[in-house]
Structure formats: C-alpha cells, structure tokens
C-alpha cells in the first residue's frame, strides 16, 4: 500500500511535470480571473477581497482537479485497477492536487495583493485557513472528479462540487473575514475545529466510497 502510494504519487508528479503546459493553463486561468476583477474593480475592501479570493480559488481548483480522472484513458485506469489498491490511487492523486492547490492558493494571494491591496491582518491565521480549505477542496474535488469521470460529464463538475464543499466554504469565508479584521484576534477555535471535523468526515467518506466508484 505504502509502496504503491509513493510509486503512484511519483508517477503523478512526473506526468504533470512533463505536461507543464496544462499547469500553465490553470495558472493563466487564475491570472486572467484576477485581472478581469482588477479591470472591473480597481480596488476592493476587505469583505469583497475575501469573497473574491475564495470565488477565484474555488473555480480555479475545480478547473485544476476536474480533469484528474477524466484525462486518464480507460485502458490506463484498467491497468491501475489490476496493479494498485483503490486507496493508493485516490491518495496519490489527492497528494499531488494538494501540493498543486497550495501553490495555486499562494499564487492567488500574491496576485490579489499585487492588483488589489493585502487586507489580511493576521497572515498566520489566514495561512492556516487556506491550508485547511485546500485540504477540503482536494478531498471533495478528487472524489467528484472520479464521479464525473464515471458519468462522462465534465460539465457536471462545478454543479457537483459546490454542494460538497458548501458547509466548509461558509466556514472558510467566515474565518477569512476574521483574519482580515483589524485589531486583536479572538482566535476562532470553534470554527476551525468545525472545519477540521468536516475535513475528517470528507476524508473518511472518500476512503469508504472511492473503492465503490473504482470497481466497475
């Protein structure tokens, strides 16, 4: 299981590295979104900034992760099925997308700070929020990508993804508003704990349900 996981993760990073242009496509998607926002807004106050940040990050990650299973050819999926456990396949993909999404989230923050201001008053808290949020997105969207691949409908992806992360997204927005608030911080333990609880639920669901999607 461990060996399979590392081998698959290695393969995942390698193939994505060899097709860097598709990664650049996602980065361009992100940059274009922020640029359009800049053209329309020029400036954004903290509330708007936080909302737009999560909107852009949500759609960028849907775009980045949607093709995860769709891009694999049927024959290659059959090959994985014969040599690897479903959990190893899922976790390898999730691991790669987690790294990818952390990079995209950092870039998104950078671009937003460049075009607009950086209203985040508590960067450490915001980093914690973004890392937890990325974990949620990765778990949910990788699973949804497997579902969308079975349904052979890439268009369904955004429709299916929003509901699954909706409770987390509400918490993420609320927490980010707090991170952008001036003055001393009342550390929002409850919200963070709920966010992590949702992450754990998602992880368990993904680990339990993915094998059923895999076997066909």
Partner 1 sequence: MQQAGGFFSDARSFLIRYGWKLAGALLVAYSLAMGLVMQVPQLPVLGESIRNLFYHVPLWFSMTFLLLASAINSLRYLATNRPQLDVLAAAQVRVALWFGFAGLFTGMVWARTTWGTWWVNDPKLLGAAAGILFYVAYVVLRNSMDDLQRRARVSAVANILFFCMFIPTIFIIPRLTDSLHPGSGGNPAFNVYDLDNRMRWVFYPAVLGWILLGIWMASLSARLQLLQAVAAGLWDQDVLTTAVRHEQ
Write out the residues near partner 1 by the rule CB under 8 A.
143, 147, 150-153, 156, 159-160, 162-167, 170-171, 174, 191, 194, 198, 201, 205, 209, 212-213, 216
Q: From CA 33, how far away is CA 39, in angstroms rounded?
A: 10
- Asked whether 89 and 80 are in contact (CB, 8 A), the reply is yes
Closest separation between CB of residue 14 and partner 1, Å? 29
Closest separation between CB of residue 89 and partner 1, Å? 15
Question: In the structure encoding, which two tokens stand for residue 53, read together?
Answer: 């940040």
CA 177 from chain center: how many Å?
20
Decide whether 106 or 201 has the Cβ nearer to partner 1: 201
Closest separation between CB of residue 210 and partner 1, Å? 8
- For 60, residues 6+ apart whose C-beta sits below 8 A from its C-beta are 26, 29, 30, 33, 104, 108
Closest separation between CB of residue 194 and partner 1, Å? 7
Decide whether 87 or 213 has the Cβ nearer to partner 1: 213
Decide whether 37 or 171 has the Cβ nearer to partner 1: 171
Decide whether 189 or 212 has the Cβ nearer to partner 1: 212
Closest separation between CB of residue 142 and partner 1, Å? 12
Decide whether 24 or 151 has the Cβ nearer to partner 1: 151
- Asked whether 160 and 148 are in contact (CB, 8 A), the reply is yes
**Length of the chain in residues, anyone?**
216
Report how far apart, in Å, the C-alpha atoms of 92 and of each of 89, 109, 126, 138 are.
5, 26, 26, 11
């Amino acid at each position: 299981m461990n060996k399979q996981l590392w081998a698959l993760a290695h393969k995942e990073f390698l193939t994505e590295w060899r097709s860097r242009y598709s990664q650049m496509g996602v980065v361009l998607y992100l940059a274009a979104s922020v640029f359009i926002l800049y053209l329309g807004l020029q400036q954004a106050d903290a509330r708007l900034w936080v909302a737009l940040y999560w909107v852009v990050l949500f759609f960028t990650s849907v775009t980045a992760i949607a093709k995860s299973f769709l891009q694999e050819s049927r024959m290659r999926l059959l090959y994985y099925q014969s040599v690897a456990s479903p959990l190893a396949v899922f976790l390898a993909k999730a691991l790669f997308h987690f790294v990818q999404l952390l990079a995209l989230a950092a870039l998104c923050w950078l671009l937003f700070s460049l075009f607009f201001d950086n209203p985040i008053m508590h960067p450490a808290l915001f980093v914690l929020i973004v890392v937890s949020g990325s974990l949620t997105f990765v778990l949910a969207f990788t699973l949804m990508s497997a579902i969308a691949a079975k349904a052979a409908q890439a268009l369904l992806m955004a429709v299916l993804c929003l509901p699954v992360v909706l409770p987390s997204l509400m918490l993420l927005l609320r927490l980010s508003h707090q991170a952008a608030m001036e003055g001393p911080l009342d550390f929002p333990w409850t919200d963070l704990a709920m966010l992590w609880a949702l992450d754990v639920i998602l992880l368990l669901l993904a680990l339990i349900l993915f094998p059923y999607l895999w076997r066909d």
